[in-house]
């Protein structure tokens, strides 16, 4: 079975109830796509983290609090909240390992922002820093599946190929966004105000991150396609990284003969 790791927020998160629900919905999205979800603690020490990472076929960076602005060389504005430096460190480490190991990677909301910062980009600490920004944060008064704004998807992108379209409506539960996009990341979707809504890494087998929350739009065909694509890419990676069963059988047979 294809194992998909899902990063978790800390117990101390100010929005913990909301994040618990979203984490559960991500796991359900993975299950619906035929994968086996496993959660990754935000403060695992490195040896245990690597052991867990090695056992995974794919990785999801979930939503949550803000990435520490110090990671992109800024002091935090008053609007910044929910920072957990240990989680930032854990997820940055996972991103580096996943990129080095060509392991499929899918980022959601904070996951897109974390990926951008891990690769050398910077964020708007609050979307109000972006000239002409529309509303992107609808919590807590709107339901998570409220379709807040349109996105325009780059026609020649993996995302457009995957979804079979270049326009969609998405939910929006973020108050931060990409300000400077890291080298190596390609912006493949924008909101009408120019805010980055999806990035991908062309050279990687599957590295896609979206600014919206597909797990909270679980009935949307686009959400099913996104989780389905991650699980399919991870299953493919699993087949390529493990010897076929016939080889394993031969090795076992040889070992038995040696006895
Ligand atoms: Mn948005």
| 169 CA from centroid of ligand 1 (Å) | 10
Query: Alpha-carbon torsion 231, 233, 234, 238, what sign?
Result: positive
The pLDDT value recorded for residue 242 is: 60
| 48 CA from centroid of ligand 1 (Å) | 35
Tell me the two tokens of residue 84: 């957990």
200 has a pLDDT exceeding 50: yes
Above pLDDT 90, what percent of the chain? Answer: 90
Instruction: From 192, 87, 213, 201, select the one nearest 142 (Cα to Cα).
Output: 213
The pLDDT value recorded for residue 17 is: 95
The pLDDT value recorded for residue 240 is: 84
Which residues are close to ligand 1, an ion, with C-beta < 5 A?
Answer: 136, 172
98 has a pLDDT exceeding 70: yes
The pLDDT value recorded for residue 30 is: 98
Judge whether 243 and 57 are in contact, CB under 8 Å: no
> pTM for this one?
0.93
pLDDT average, residue stretch 104-129? 98
Give the CATH number, domain containing residue 183.
Answer: 3.40.50.880
Number of structural domains (the chain) is: 1
pLDDT tens profile 171-194: 999 999 999 999 999 999 999 999
Instruction: From 235, 223, 222, 185, select the one nearest 58 (Cα to Cα).
Output: 235
Please give the C-alpha separations between residue 175 and each of 31, 60, 63, 107, 166, in angstroms, as whole numbers.
29, 20, 12, 16, 24
Burial of 92 (0-12, 13-18, 19+ CB in 10 A): middle
CA distance 235 to 2: 6
pLDDT tens profile 64-96: 999 999 999 999 999 999 999 999 999 999 999
The pLDDT value recorded for residue 141 is: 87
pLDDT tens profile 15-68: 999 999 999 999 999 999 999 999 999 999 999 999 999 999 999 999 999 999
256 has a pLDDT exceeding 60: no
The gap from C-alpha 51 to its chain's centroid, in whole angstroms, comes to 20
Q: Quote the mean pLDDT of the chain.
A: 94
Instruction: From 98, 109, 106, 94, select the one nearest 15 (Cα to Cα).
Output: 109
The pLDDT value recorded for residue 243 is: 54
The gap from C-alpha 79 to its chain's centroid, in whole angstroms, comes to 23
| 246 CA from centroid of ligand 1 (Å) | 48
| 131 CA from centroid of ligand 1 (Å) | 15
Query: Which three-class secondary structure state does DSSP give residue 188?
Result: strand
Tell me the two tokens of residue 142: 């709107």
CA distance 25 to 110: 16
Tell me the two tokens of residue 216: 């909270």
The pLDDT value recorded for residue 42 is: 98
CA distance 206 to 221: 19
Judge whether 82 and 38 are in contact, CB under 8 Å: no
The pLDDT confidence band at residue 253, using thresholds 50, 70 and 90, is: low
Active site residues: 109, 213, 215
Domain of residue 13 covers 2-258
The pLDDT value recorded for residue 249 is: 54
| 129 CA from centroid of ligand 1 (Å) | 14
258 has a pLDDT exceeding 60: no
Helices (H), the chain: 16-32, 46-55, 85-100, 110-118, 158-163, 221-241, 245-258
The pLDDT value recorded for residue 178 is: 98
Please give the C-alpha separations between residue 100 and each of 30, 119, 174, in angstroms, as whole numbers.
23, 12, 29
The pLDDT confidence band at residue 244, using thresholds 50, 70 and 90, is: low
Query: Alpha-carbon torsion 111, 112, 118, 121, what sign?
Result: negative
| 146 CA from centroid of ligand 1 (Å) | 11
Hunting for tokens 């603690």 — which residue is that?
A: 41
33-37, 135-139, 221-225: least confident range: 135-139
């Amino acid at each position: 079975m294809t194992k998909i790791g899902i990063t978790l927020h800390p117990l101390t998160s100010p929005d913990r109830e909301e994040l618990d629900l979203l984490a559960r919905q991500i796991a359900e999205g993975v299950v619906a796509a035929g994968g086996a979800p496993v959660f990754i603690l935000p403060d695992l020490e490195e040896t245990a983290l690597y052991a867990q990472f090695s056992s995974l076929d794919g990785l999801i960076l979930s939503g949550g609090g803000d990435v520490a602005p110090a990671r992109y060389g800024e002091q935090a504005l008053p609007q910044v909240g929910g920072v957990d430096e240990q989680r930032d460190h854990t997820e940055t480490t996972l991103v580096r390992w996943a990129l080095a190991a060509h392991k499929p990677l899918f980022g959601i909301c904070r996951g897109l922002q974390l990926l951008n910062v891990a690769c050398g980009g910077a964020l708007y600490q609050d979307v109000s820093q972006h000239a002409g920004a529309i509303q992107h944060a609808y919590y807590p008064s709107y339901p998570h599946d409220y379709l807040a704004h349109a996105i325009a998807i780059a026609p020649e992108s993996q995302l457009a190929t995957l979804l079979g379209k270049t326009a969609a409506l998405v939910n929006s539960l973020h108050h931060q966004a990409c300000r400077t996009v890291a080298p190596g990341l390609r912006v493949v979707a924008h909101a009408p105000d120019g805010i980055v809504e999806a990035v991908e890494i062309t050279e990687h087998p599957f590295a896609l991150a979206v600014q919206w929350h597909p797990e909270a739009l679980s009935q949307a065909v686009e959400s099913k396609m996104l989780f389905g694509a991650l699980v399919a890419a991870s299953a493919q990676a699993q087949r390529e990284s493990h010897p076929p069963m016939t080889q394993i059988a031969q090795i076992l047979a040889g070992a038995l003969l040696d006895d």
